[in-house]
Amino acid sequence: MSIHAMEEMAEDNLDILDVEYCIFNGQITRIEKDDPRGIKYVVEGKAVDEQTLVGVVGRFTTAERYSDNHRL
């Protein structure tokens, strides 16, 4: 997880569990192919409290690893 993502989480009173919950239970709402570093996936879902909306932008760094770039 990037420093930027951790700063964004802190500003919105979220923690890593909220981001993980969003990724595991949310859905991909957008795929951005215009970044030269690779395809970015926008995942939107809810935090652990099931009320707070969370958006996560990241990319797959390997076939099995999703790297969170920053939170929406």
Query: Each residue of 35-70: pLDDT tens digit?
Result: 898 899 999 999 999 999 999 999 887 777 777 765
How far is it between the farthest Cα atoms of the chain?
Answer: 36
Instruction: Please determine, for residue 1, whether its predicted confidence score (pLDDT) is greater than 80.
Output: no
State how far the alpha carbon of 41 is from the alpha carbons of 49, 51, 54, 58, 61, in Å: 23, 22, 14, 5, 12
C-alpha to C-alpha distance for 52 and 44, rounded to whole angstroms = 11
Instruction: Please determine, for residue 13, whether its predicted confidence score (pLDDT) is greater than 60.
Output: yes
E strands within 1-64?
Answer: 27-32, 40-46, 53-62
Q: What's the structural domain count of the chain?
A: 1
The domain of 20 spans 3-71
